[in-house]
Chains A and B, each alone.
Chain A
Amino acid sequence: GAVVSQHPSRVICKSGTSVKIECRSLDFQATTMFWYRQFPKQSLMLMATSNEGSKATYEQGVEKDKFLINHASLTLSTLTVTSAHPEDSSFYICSARAAGQGYGYTFGSGTRLTVV
């Protein structure tokens, strides 16, 4: 089945530094990748939708200059949290849909970010 590889799975960084999260579709082409954030006991909140070769579409309230998304190829999308602060600590997950998967979405394994 369709697989999305996400890494790192866990990262601890100092406040003010930047962190890059990668998501790769291993056996399919992901023209669209969704980036979500999940705080403890909360739902997955869509942050942005990235389309290969174009600018990402950010949800209301998500700072595009803080959360940089790059979707340079059909198999790789990255999310960079710039100048991270403790309130950015969260579980970040990417998701993509493979052709032939109907409307089902495959998720990466998630990245747990802790900013200290």
Chain B
Amino acid sequence: RKEVEQDPGPFNVPEGATVAFNCTYSNSASQSFFWYRQDCRKEPKLLMSVYSSGNEDGRFTAQLNRASQYISLLIRDSKLSDSATYLCVVITGTGGSYIPTFGRGTSLIVHP
């Protein structure tokens, strides 16, 4: 089983739709979680952190379920500019040495 798994998609949705991605992780000791966005042939950029209590940033909502070991990203009112690959990142480590592990990414295509 891979450490971090995501459905690669693509998710093909119309503008204005609501879309959700999940990401599962295998190491129950993982401490921190993030969602990154990567545009084609570009570097990943931090979208948002994921907290146990859940967090929202505009149209984006991230949630963490430690019991089931998954994180989710919900995008409301999708825009054309949301088209990208969304990577979940899981941080694991101890003693000040933390290693980020990336999921394969979920591709989102928002069409008119």
Neighbour of B104 across the interface among A42, A107, A110, CB < 8 A: A42
Given the complex, which residues of B lie within 8 Å of A49, measured CB to CB?
Answer: 97, 99
Given the complex, which residues of A lie within 8 Å of B104, measured CB to CB?
Answer: 42-43
Whether A43 pairs with B41 at a CB distance below 8 angstroms is: no
Bound CA span A57–B57, Å: 36
Interface centre among B4, B32, B87, B98 (most CB of A within 10 A): B98
Given the complex, which residues of A lie within 8 Å of B99, measured CB to CB?
Answer: 34, 46, 49
1/0 per residue, CB under 8 A from B, across A21-51: the answer is: 0000000000010101000011111100100
A75 CB–B CB distance under 8 Å: no
Whether A112 pairs with B41 at a CB distance below 8 angstroms is: yes
B21 CB–A CB distance under 8 Å: no
Q: How far is the CB of A21 from chain B (nearest CB, A)?
A: 13
Whether A43 pairs with B100 at a CB distance below 8 angstroms is: no
Total contacting residues, chain B, CB less than 8 A: 24
A102 CB–B CB distance under 8 Å: yes
Q: In the complex, which residue of chain B has the Cβ closest to the Cβ of A45?
A: B102
Bound CA span A102–B55, Å: 15
1/0 per residue, CB under 8 A from A, across B69-95: the answer is: 000000000000000000101010000
A93 with B43, Cβ < 8 A, contacts A42-B104, A43-B103, A104-B34 known: yes
Bound CA span A30–B13, Å: 39
Interface residues, chain B, CB within 8 Å of chain A? 4, 8, 31-32, 34, 41-46, 49, 87, 89, 91, 97-105
9 more CB-based (< 8 A) A-B contacts, given A44-B87, A103-B49? A32-B97, A36-B102, A45-B102, A46-B99, A49-B97, A93-B43, A102-B49, A103-B34, A103-B91
